[in-house]
Structure 1
Amino acid sequence: MKMKNWISAFLFIMIIGLFGCQQRTVIEQHTESAETPERAEQAEQQSESAKQPVAQTEIIPAIAPVINIIDPATDELIHTITPLDLGYEMDITAYIAKIEQLAKELARGVDGKPGYDQRMILDRLDEQGNLIEGNPLILLRESILVERIMEVSATGGTVELPIETTKSGYEPEDVPLLDDVVIASYTTYFNPADKNRNKNIELSATAIDKVIVGKGDHFSFNTVVGPRDEANGYQPAPEIINKKLVMGIGGGICQTSSTLFNAVDQLPVKYIEWHHHSIDIGYVPKGRDATVSYGGLDFRFQNTAAAPFLIKSVYGNNFLTIEITTAEKYVDKFK
C-alpha cells in the first residue's frame, strides 16, 4: 500500500516537471520567432544612429540690402547706401527726405566739393574767326536719381547717376554765317575821363564779344566774363552797394551787363536770373538795368528762338554797343 502511494507521488512530480519544461520551451521559441532579421537590422541601425553626433542647424544672419551708386562715365563707385540704416523700414517719409538731400548734394556739391552740375561755357570765335570750344551743360537729374534709389531700396542693387549732357544748339556749318545780319542792337554812353571804370567796361565787353548762343542755350554773364579781379586786369572804380557808391575792383561792368540786357531783350529769350540796382544808374532808363557781382548776382537768360545768334561788342571812346547777329536764313526765327 505504501509502495503504491510513493509511486503515484513520483509520477505526479514528473508530470509537473515535464509540463514546466514544455512551457519554458514554448516561451523561448516565441521569443526567438519575434526577433526577425529585419527587426535585428533596425535595432542595429538605431544603435548606430544613437552613437552619431546630432547635426546642428547653422543660423546665418540676414544681410541688409546695399545700394551702390555708380558714375556711368567712369564706372566708379561714388557712394553706397544701406537703406535700413537710413530708416527705410521705420519712417519712409524721413527716408525719402534723406535720399533727396543726397541727390541734391551730388548734383550741386557740398562743403566746398563741387557737384556734377556744370553751367554751359558757350563756344566763341577768336579775332581770326576760329572756333574756341567751351563746355556743355551738365545736369544730374535729382528727381530721377531719387526714383531709381527708391525702386531698389527694398532689395539693394546698383544705380547709375542720371547725368544729362547738352551741347550748344548750333550747326558747325552755320558758324561763318552768324554775323550776316544785325537783328538787335543797343548803345550806352560813359565819361571818357573815368579811365579805371572804362577799362573795366572794355575788359568785360571783350569777354562777351563773339560768343555763340545756340538755340536753347543758357547764357551766364558771370560764367562768360569770369572773376573781376586785379589778376585779370580789372581796376578799382565806384560801384553801387546798398544804395551807396563805394570803391571796388571791377566797378563799371554793370554797364556792360545792362547794355547786353537791353540788346537781348529785343529777342525771344527767357530770363533765368535778372536783378536791378538799388538806385537809378543813369546810363539806361529806370528798370532797364542788370546788376551783377561775381560769386553773387548774375544775369542769365535762355535763347528760346529756334536758331543761334552771335553777341558782338563794340567799345568806343565814350560808348559801348552790343549787337546781336545771326545768319540771314534765321532772321525770321527772331521775329
Structure 2
Amino acid sequence: MLTRLLTIILAGSLIGLSGCSEQTTKEIEVKAKASEQQQVIEKEKKEMEEKKKEEERRKAEEAKPVYVNIIDPNTKSIIKTFNTKDLGFGKDAERYKAEIAKLTRELARGTKETPGYDNRMILDRLDANGQVIQGTPQTILNETDLSEKIMQASAKGGDVEIPLYVTASGYKPEEAAQLGEALVASYTTYFSNGVAGRTKNITLSAEAINNVIVGVGDSFSFNTTVGPSDAEHGYQPAPELLDGKLVDGIGGGICQTSSTLYNAIDQVAVSYIEKNNHSAHVGYVPTGRDATVSYGGKDFRFKNTTGVPVLLKSIVKKGSLTVEVRTAKAYQSLIKKSK
C-alpha cells in the first residue's frame, strides 16, 4: 500500500515537472519570435533612416552649385563663370544644350555690348618704301569644340579654356619684295573726274586696297580692308544706287572700286565667299559684272586659291581706275587662272 502511494506521488511529481518544462519551452519560443520581430523592426527602421539620409544627401548634392569657368587662352584669366545647374544641367538636357550653344555663339561672334573672339584677317600690306605693314591673323573660336569641353566639365565643374584657331597670312616675309614683279591680271573702269565727291571716294577706297598682300589661302574682305566709308574717314557725298535709284550718299563711288577689283581678280582662280550685284545696271562695268558693298552690310569677299601669293595694286588717274593683280616672277607660270 505504501509502495503504491509512493508510486502515485512520484508520478504526479514527474507530471508536474513535465508541465513546467513545456511551459518554459513555449516561453523561450515566444521570446525568440519577439526578438526576431524586434530585429526585423530595427533593421527596417535602420534601412529607412539610411534611405532618408541618402535622400537628404542627394538633395543637398543636387542643390550644391557646380561652377564652370571660361578661360581666355591668351591672358589665362576667367572671362565668365556660371553655375551649370542654373542653366538646366541634370534636369533639362535640351535646355542646357541650347544654353551652351548660345553661350559659345556669343563668345565667338560677340554681342551688342562685347566683341567676339572671331576676327577676320586684316591682310598685310606694303608701304611706300616696300616695307611690310603687319595686319592681324584670322582668329576663329571653334564653337563645337568649346561646347564639348563645357559638357565634359558640367558635372563636376572646373576650368575650360577657349579653343582659338589662329591663321597667319599664307606668304613668307622674304617673298614680299618680289610680289610686285609680274602682272598677271588687270582691269580698268572710267568715271567723270568732274564729280568731286565721287572722285574723292574712289581715290580713298582705291588707296585702301593698294599694295595689299593676299597670301595663299587668305581671305580678302573689301569692307574689312577699306573700313567705314563715312565722313569721319574723309568720304564725301556722291550719287549712289539705292533700291534701283540714284541718290546722294556719303561714300558714293566705292562700289566702282570693289567692282573694278572683282573684274581684275576674277581672271585668276580665286573662290568667292560673298559677292552681290546692284539693284540696277551700273555704267562702269557690264551687266552682272559689278560687286556692290556697304560697310556693315553687303561685302565683296574672296579666298586666294590660285596657289601663289598675290599683290593688289590700284592706280587712279584722271577719270580712270585700274586694279592690277601681281605676283613674283618665280610664281608667274604657277598661278592658276580662272577657267
Please report the TM-score for the alignment, with normalisation by the length of structure 1.
0.80
Q: For each residue in 1:116-151, what CA deviation from the matched residue of structure 2 results, as whole angstroms up to 9, or x when unmatched?
A: 111111110111111111111111111110111111
Residue in 2 that maps onto 1:274:
275
Contact 2:117-2:139 within 8 A present in 1 as well: yes
Residue in 1 that maps onto 2:157:
156
> Residue type matched to 1:171 in 2?
K
* Equivalent residues in 2 for 1:96-175, closer than 5 Å: 96-175=97-176
d(CA) in 1 for partners of 2:208, 2:72: 34
Q: For each residue in 1:36-68, what CA deviation from the matched residue of structure 2 results, as whole angstroms up to 9, or x when unmatched?
A: xxxxxxxxxxxxxxxxxxxxx9x8743332211
Tell me the SS of whatever aligns to 1:334: coil
Residue in 2 that maps onto 1:70:
71
* Equivalent residues in 2 for 1:234-273, closer than 5 Å: 234-273=235-274
* Equivalent residues in 2 for 1:13-24, closer than 5 Å: none
Residue in 1 that maps onto 2:23:
none
d(CA) in 2 for partners of 1:173, 1:334: 22
d(CA) in 1 for partners of 2:311, 2:158: 47
> Residue type matched to 1:87 in 2?
G
Residue in 2 that maps onto 1:334:
336
The question of 1:215 aligning with 2:211 is answered no
Can you give the 5+ residue segments of structure 2 that lack an aligned partner in the other structure? Answer: 1-52
The question of 1:203 aligning with 2:204 is answered yes
d(CA) in 2 for partners of 1:300, 1:99: 30
Contact 2:68-2:81 within 8 A present in 1 as well: yes
> Residue type matched to 1:165 in 2?
V
d(CA) in 1 for partners of 2:335, 2:231: 41
Residue in 1 that maps onto 2:35:
none
Q: For each residue in 1:212-257, what CA deviation from the matched residue of structure 2 results, as whole angstroms up to 9, or x when unmatched?
A: 0011111111111111122222111001111111111110110000
The more displaced of 87-96 and 138-147 is: 87-96
d(CA) in 2 for partners of 1:273, 1:170: 23
What displacement does 1:305 show? 2.4
What displacement does 1:70 show? 0.6
d(CA) in 1 for partners of 2:141, 2:88: 25
What displacement does 1:311 show? 0.2
The more displaced of 212-221 and 147-156 is: 147-156
The question of 1:324 aligning with 2:325 is answered yes
d(CA) in 2 for partners of 1:229, 1:78: 34
Residue in 1 that maps onto 2:233:
232
> Residue type matched to 2:325 in 1?
I
Residue in 2 that maps onto 1:312:
313
Tell me the SS of whatever aligns to 2:295: coil
d(CA) in 2 for partners of 1:71, 1:142: 14
d(CA) in 1 for partners of 2:172, 2:72: 30
> Residue type matched to 1:298 in 2?
D
Residue in 2 that maps onto 1:52:
none
Number of residue-to-residue matches in the alignment = 279
| Identity within the alignment, % | 55
What displacement does 1:306 show? 2.2
Q: For each residue in 1:239-296, what CA deviation from the matched residue of structure 2 results, as whole angstroms up to 9, or x when unmatched?
A: 1111111111110110000000011111121211111100000111111100011111
The question of 1:82 aligning with 2:66 is answered no
Contact 2:268-2:335 within 8 A present in 1 as well: no
> Residue type matched to 1:333 in 2?
I
Tell me the SS of whatever aligns to 2:261: helix
Can you give the 5+ residue segments of structure 1 that lack an aligned partner in the other structure? Answer: 1-56
Contact 2:126-2:133 within 8 A present in 1 as well: yes
d(CA) in 2 for partners of 1:256, 1:111: 30
Tell me the SS of whatever aligns to 2:321: strand
What displacement does 1:191 show? 1.4
d(CA) in 2 for partners of 1:99, 1:150: 8
d(CA) in 2 for partners of 1:72, 1:314: 42
Report runs of 4+ in structure 1 exceeding 4 Å deviation: none
d(CA) in 2 for partners of 1:158, 1:293: 41
d(CA) in 2 for partners of 1:173, 1:280: 43
